[in-house]
């Protein structure tokens, strides 16, 4: 009898982690490698947040277990955030805090999916979505989008994907990996469809809410369509905008029975998220936010630099996204060409492998995100490195035969 569980056969390891590992190995071997694979800000956690954490430790607030799905102070801060930033009214009993947005998402799927239940996931998507759905026993249903549509799902495509088995629509705007974000009217077209299908719930992953550029205005589904409020789980966290990926705090607001079920799962698996991190998150949400526009100014410069330089690379087409810190260029124009090693590029995996080999630039191939041939660049790294990496990509593409 096999030792490992059957369902693991459906799960793939994370492509983003694989690339990061490969780049690390090359660096250790002495190569000059620029890593554009990691999905986290290069900025440090702001000092006021660090200080709040130190104070919590000194005051003895970090020594003990806390309430399983979040301390009261954090739940109140999250309620305030949803009210002031998104116009959403949630009570503390409607808030779940977990170890990163990732755990909150996973809890939601475990709490709701029965075998055969479908989750609609627009592609390209964050690599963890389909795998999480499958681990929880559900069926991911991909809806492909195109570069021409700005990687956004149309109302018609959503309508076509809905079946009697659909349990969730999983939305992520701004998106990892494309950076694409839905405008108010684009989102309204989708929520209009959902209003007609009362059995479909909405899980909206708003993790990159604050990382939008060029005066783009962020909206979340329950804010646009109050009739969806009762069947929406609004997910967010401090990881990206507050530069706190290592602290592991994510949260969601939603219907009380779902939040209770998620708390039960958490109580029997990991218990409370780290106490010290929760106090840090309280300060993140309640404290000054002036660093966010400062960071965004730098992110926007890097995005514009990437888009301009990549569009000058032979065979690459790079749309300009609204937010996050990713671009998702097509490398279709390089497929069929030959790399300096003599290898013919037949897939985007070949493209990224040969790019790393020839020029020491680590990016992630698009196919694991649900759309290829393409690749994802995270520009959350020093501007000089982003520029150098884009020069190397231009040279790599120019040298293909
Ligand atoms: C779209 C999206 N959602 C959720 C997460 C998870 O965030 P956390 O680090 O808080 O678990 C990530 C992290 O990469 C992400 O890109």
Name the residue at shortest CA distance from atom 16 of ligand 1: 176
**Ligand 1 atom with minimal separation from the 205 CA:** 3
Distance between Cα 314 and ligand 1 center (Å): 32
Distance between Cα 245 and ligand 1 center (Å): 8
What pLDDT, on a 0 to 100 scale, did the predictor assign at position 151? 98
Per-residue pLDDT of 223-251, as tens digits, reads 999 999 999 999 999 999 999 999 999 99
Per-residue pLDDT of 273-296, as tens digits, reads 999 999 999 999 999 999 999 999
Per-residue pLDDT of 328-347, as tens digits, reads 999 999 999 999 999 999 99
What Cα–Cα distance (Å) separates residue 47 from each residue in 88, 138, 295?
29, 42, 15
Per-residue pLDDT of 365-400, as tens digits, reads 999 999 999 999 999 999 999 999 999 999 999 999
Distance between Cα 182 and ligand 1 center (Å): 18
Mutation pick for ligand 1 pocket among 176, 181, 252, 328 (CB with most ligand atoms within 8 Å): 176
CB under 6 Å to ligand 1: residues?
39, 100-102, 126, 172, 176, 205, 207, 237, 239, 245, 250
**Ligand 1 atom with minimal separation from the 239 CA:** 10
Provide the pLDDT confidence category of residue 1 given band limits of 50, 70 and 90: confident
Distance between Cα 102 and ligand 1 center (Å): 6
Task: Give the Cα-Cα-Cα angle 268, 269, 271 (nearest 5 degrees).
Answer: 80
Name the residue at shortest CA distance from atom 14 of ligand 1: 39
What Cα–Cα distance (Å) separates residue 13 from each residue in 56, 110, 132?
36, 20, 12
What pLDDT, on a 0 to 100 scale, did the predictor assign at position 13? 78
């Amino acid at each position: 009898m096999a030792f490992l569980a059957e369902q693991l056969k459906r799960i793939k390891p994370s492509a983003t982690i694989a690339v990061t590992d490969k780049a690390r190995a090359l660096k250790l071997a002495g190569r000059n490698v620029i890593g554009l694979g990691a999905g986290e800000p290069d900025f440090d956690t702001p000092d006021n947040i660090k200080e709040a954490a130190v104070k919590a430790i000194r005051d003895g607030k970090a020594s003990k277990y806390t309430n399983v799905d979040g301390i009261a102070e954090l739940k109140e801060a999250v309620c305030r955030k949803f009210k002031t930033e998104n116009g959403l009214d949630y009570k503390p009993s409607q808030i779940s805090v977990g170890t990163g947005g990732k755990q909150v998402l996973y809890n939601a799927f475990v709490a709701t999916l029965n075998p055969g239940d479908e989750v609609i996931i627009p592609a390209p998507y964050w690599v963890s979505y389909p795998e999480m759905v499958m681990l929880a026993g559900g069926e991911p249903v991909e809806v492909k989008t195109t570069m021409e549509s700005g990687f956004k799902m149309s109302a018609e495509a959503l309508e076509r994907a809905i079946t009697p088995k659909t349990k969730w629509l999983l939305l992520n705007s701004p998106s990892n990996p494309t950076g694409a974000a839905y405008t108010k009217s684009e989102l309204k077209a989708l929520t209009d469809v959902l209003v007609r299908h009362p059995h479909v719930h909405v899980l909206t992953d708003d993790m990159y809410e604050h990382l939008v550029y060029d005066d783009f205005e962020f909206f979340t589904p329950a804010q646009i369509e109050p009739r969806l409020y009762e069947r929406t789980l609004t997910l967010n966290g401090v990881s990206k905008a507050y530069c706190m990926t290592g602290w592991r705090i994510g949260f969601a607001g939603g219907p009380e029975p779902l939040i209770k079920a998620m708390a039960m799962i958490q109580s029997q698996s990991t218990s409370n998220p780290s106490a010290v991190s929760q106090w840090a998150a309280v300060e993140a949400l309640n404290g000054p936010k002036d660093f966010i526009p400062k960071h965004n100014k730098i992110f926007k410069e890097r995005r514009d630099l990437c888009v301009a330089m990549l569009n000058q690379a032979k065979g690459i087409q790079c749309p300009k996204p609204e937010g996050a810190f990713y671009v998702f260029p097509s490398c279709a124009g390089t497929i069929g060409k030959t790399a300096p090693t003599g290898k013919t590029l037949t897939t985007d995996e070949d493209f990224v492998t040969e790019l790393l080999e020839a020029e020491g630039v680590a990016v992630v191939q698009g196919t694991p995100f649900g759309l290829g041939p393409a690749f994802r660049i995270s520009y959350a790294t020093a501007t000089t490195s982003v520029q150098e990496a884009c020069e190397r990509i231009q040279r790599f593409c120019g040298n293909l035969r």
